[in-house]
Amino acid sequence: MSETNTVVAGSVVTLHYKLTLDDGQVVDSSEGNEPLAYLHGSNSLVPGLESALGGKAVDEEFEVTVSAAEGYGDRIDDAIQEVPRSAFPDDADLQPGIQFQATDQDDNPIMGTIEAADDKTVKVDFNHPLAGKNLNFAIEIVGVRPATTEEVEHGHAHGEGGHQH
């Protein structure tokens, strides 16, 4: 194992992944797609997964269970909020369980899930859909290389599976 193909801060890691919940439901997978590329140490991945990848090498395959606290966080009751019906388009589908993307105060993207709706108010759960859940990852590392200066400046990986811009 040479240092250049081991995952350290500043490595661009390319990997295939499969994310399964404890009930066996596969919620995300790179199967059939380009592998994901990310810059190690940039907090691009959930913390528990990024730390599990540290020190791993190219061609390694492993499974890791990440707790909610090290994943998308625990569920927070305060994240369930009532939003005026007028904040949504007239033709919005507001059936319980419908998910939509909104932005928080800082303009960061945030997922909302409709809990209930009437003429005046929509009850929205702004917890991440995977909050409170254990995340079971199956990982296959297909590439490790040092980040370019530009990637370090941008704080993300470029090229296939990374940012294209």
Residue 154's SS3 state is helix
Q: How many residues bind Zn ion (CB under 5 A)?
A: 2
Nearer to Zn ion, 14 or 127 (CB): 14
Q: Return the residues of window 146-165 that contact Zn ion according to CB under 5 A.
A: 154, 163
Nearer to Zn ion, 85 or 154 (CB): 154
**In the complex, least distance from residue 41 CB atom to Zn ion, rounded to whole angstroms:** 15
Distance between CA atoms of 6 and 83, rounded to whole angstroms? Answer: 47
- Closest residue to Zn ion, judged by C-beta, is 154
**In the complex, least distance from residue 163 CB atom to Zn ion, rounded to whole angstroms:** 5
Distance between CA atoms of 134 and 139, rounded to whole angstroms? Answer: 16
Contacts with 137 (C-beta within 8 Å, 6 or more apart), sequence order: 17, 18, 19, 20, 49, 52, 63, 64, 65, 66
**In the complex, least distance from residue 64 CB atom to Zn ion, rounded to whole angstroms:** 27
Nearer to Zn ion, 10 or 96 (CB): 10
Distance between CA atoms of 60 and 141, rounded to whole angstroms? Answer: 6
Nearer to Zn ion, 96 or 155 (CB): 155
**In the complex, least distance from residue 78 CB atom to Zn ion, rounded to whole angstroms:** 34
What's the per-residue H, E or C state across 21-73? CCCCCEEEECCCCCCEEEECCCCCCCHHHHHHHCCCECCCEEEEEECHHHCCC
Nearer to Zn ion, 123 or 154 (CB): 154
**In the complex, least distance from residue 6 CB atom to Zn ion, rounded to whole angstroms:** 24
Residues that bind Zn ion (CB under 5 A): 154, 163
